[in-house]
Amino acid sequence: MEILLELPLLLGLFITVLSISLAGILVAVISKNLIANRFSKQHERIGRLLFRVVAGLIALLVSLSYANERVRQSKIINSMEEEASIIVNLSMRLHHFESVEAKNALEEIVEYVDLTINDDWKNVSENPYFSKATQSLVKANSFVLNMPVSNETERFEKQMIISLLNDIIKLTQIRVYSQHVTTPHLIYILLCGLTIMWIFFSVYKLDSISLSFLSLYNILIAILIFFIFSLRNPFMGPLKIKPHSLIIVKTKGFDQYFK
């Protein structure tokens, strides 16, 4: 399924919907031909009951999984917004220092923001501890440690800056660990459940109307499966999270300050 992340949103959605819809019709028709002359009224009643039960379970699992991925995505967005607010706080504190080290540290923070906005997280994923973005934070931390202080107030501010830098580094790890493509195991369970449901559906009379109803259900499930998979990979694919908070920090803050 990784290829879906490399396709445009509508194309990936169309392929997913088409594949599951055709598979559903194919399995139902083949199952009908295999068991048409073998089941009785009792088998038909059991098949109808099990079809409704499996269809309900699939709908429940899909809805719970989608809700879970949305919550996970919201946590990542919140962490990015928190990171942006920390960067603003950090920059304001560095601005009060007039040493060369403070200016260099601020330049490295600006470089880190630029790299993050420009999607440098592909390099971070491949080399998380020696990428340009990570090295910008390392250099900024080194400059801050070497900043001269002349009084207790500046010493306190320096300690606060170091603490804020540590918080930023912790928050970046969330994106490092979310970069790898993963397919939720629940998707495989859902596909298996759909196959069983299609087999049970074969106890019904298969005409154009009944197959159309089945396809509508399959389309809905396919759309949800596609979005579950896309949300599971928040920094890749057509639904990847954009660093809107950092873009605001850059355009409304750094770009104005460094004019």
Tens digits of per-residue pLDDT, 107-151? 899 888 888 888 655 666 666 667 788 888 889 999 999 998 888
Q: Residue 2 domain-assigned?
A: no
Q: Residue 221 domain-assigned?
A: yes
- Dihedral Cα 203, 204, 205, 211, nearest 10 deg: -120
pLDDT at 225: 92
Q: Residue 214 domain-assigned?
A: yes
Q: Residue 1 domain-assigned?
A: no
Q: How confident is the model at residue 77 (pLDDT cuts 50, 70, 90)?
A: confident
- Is pLDDT larger for residue 15 or for residue 252? 15
User: What does the pLDDT average to over 64-88?
Assistant: 89
Q: Residue 237 domain-assigned?
A: yes
Q: Residue 148 domain-assigned?
A: yes
Measured in residues, the chain has a length of: 259
Domain hosting residue 66, numbered range: 7-257
Q: Which of 42-51, 89-98, 170-179, 226-235 has the lowest mean pLDDT?
A: 170-179
pLDDT at 128: 65
Q: How far apart are CA 208 and CA 218, in angstroms?
A: 15
Tens digits of per-residue pLDDT, 202-231? 888 889 999 999 999 999 999 999 999 988
Q: Residue 202 domain-assigned?
A: yes
Q: How far apart are CA 30 and CA 27, in angstroms?
A: 5
pLDDT at 214: 93
- Is pLDDT larger for residue 258 or for residue 18? 18
pLDDT at 252 exceeding the cut of 90: no
Provide the domain count of the chain.
Answer: 1
Q: Check the CA dihedral 88-90-96-101 and report its sign.
A: negative
pLDDT at 122: 60
Q: Which two tokens stand for residue 235?
A: 């920094």
Average pLDDT, the chain: 86
pLDDT at 160: 92
Q: What is the pTM of this model?
A: 0.81
Tens digits of per-residue pLDDT, 166-209? 998 888 877 776 666 778 888 889 999 999 999 999 888 889 99
pLDDT at 57 exceeding the cut of 80: yes
CB-based contacts of 10: which residues, under 8 Å, 6+ apart? none
Q: Residue 52 domain-assigned?
A: yes
Cβ atoms 54, 196 nearer than 8 A: yes
pLDDT at 60 exceeding the cut of 70: yes
